[in-house]
């Protein structure tokens, strides 16, 4: 009997070590993404217009948004998950940025849960008192649209063209971000 208990203790300790190693791995990965320089780039208008046009998002209230229906507006899409530390780090800045555009109908903010677990992500937003609408991708994303990392923010101009893709956590409450979005809204 003592051996079984000891074995259970060893199993328990190994699980704890393994869990701690996983947490460290994902934390380091997240910190690397957090420290990475933003990767802003322009894309070919024809190809990106086709790519982003057919993406369907399902909202927390059961509403659906087709990306092509948002043409004429600037679209700020943030892909995130509740378990992602860098995602959690940047969320207050996104919330502040969205509030600064609250009265502007020419910009739309979509926070997209990559796990498609809307009840969990909505509960997280409520717990943190964030005023961000949560969506899930309903019909899948085109290949290559989303890199193999989160958080990722994609900004689409009024013509439906991806004008920025930011990989890793960013401080979205900086004045330079607001200025960049203001310019896009005025175009």
3-state SS assignment for residue 43: coil
| pLDDT the model gives residue 102 | 92
Among 29-38, 95-104, 121-130, 169-178, name the one with the lowest average pLDDT. Answer: 29-38
The confidence band for 52, taking pLDDT boundaries of 50, 70 and 90, is low
Q: Which residues share a beta bridge with 154?
A: 77, 165
The residues near 48 (Cβ < 8 Å, ≥ 6 apart) are 160, 161, 162
Calpha distance 57→173 (Å, rounded): 25
Reported pTM: 0.72
Buried b (16+ CB within 10 A) or exposed e, 125-139: beeeebebbbbbbee
Higher model confidence: residue 57 or residue 30?
A: 57
Residue 187 burial (CB < 10 Å; 0-12/13-18/19+)?
A: exposed
Model pLDDT for residues 140-185, shown as the tens digit of each residue: 787 777 888 899 999 999 998 999 999 999 999 999 999 999 999 9
Cα distance from N-terminal residue to C-terminal residue, the chain: 75
- The CATH architecture annotation of domain 39-186 reads 3-Layer(aba) Sandwich (3.40)
């Amino acid at each position: 009997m003592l051996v079984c208990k000891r074995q259970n203790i060893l199993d328990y300790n190994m699980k704890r070590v393994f869990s701690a190693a996983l947490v460290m791995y994902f934390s380091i990965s997240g910190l690397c993404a957090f420290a990475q320089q933003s990767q802003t780039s322009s894309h070919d208008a024809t190809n990106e217009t086709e790519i982003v046009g057919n993406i369907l998002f399902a909202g927390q209230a059961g509403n659906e948004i087709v990306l092509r229906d948002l043409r004429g507006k600037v679209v700020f899409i943030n892909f995130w998950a509740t378990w992602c530390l860098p995602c959690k780090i940047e969320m207050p800045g996104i919330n502040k940025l969205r509030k600064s555009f609250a009265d502007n109908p020419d910009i739309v903010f979509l926070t997209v849960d990559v796990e498609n677990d809307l009840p969990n992500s909505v509960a997280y937003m409520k717990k943190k008192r964030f005023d961000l609408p949560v969506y899930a991708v309903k019909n899948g994303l085109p290949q290559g649209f989303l890199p193999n990392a989160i958080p990722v923010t994609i900004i689409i101009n009024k013509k439906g063209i991806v004008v920025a893709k930011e990989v890793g956590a960013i401080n979205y409450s900086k004045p330079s971000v607001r200025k960049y979005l203001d310019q896009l809204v005025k175009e």
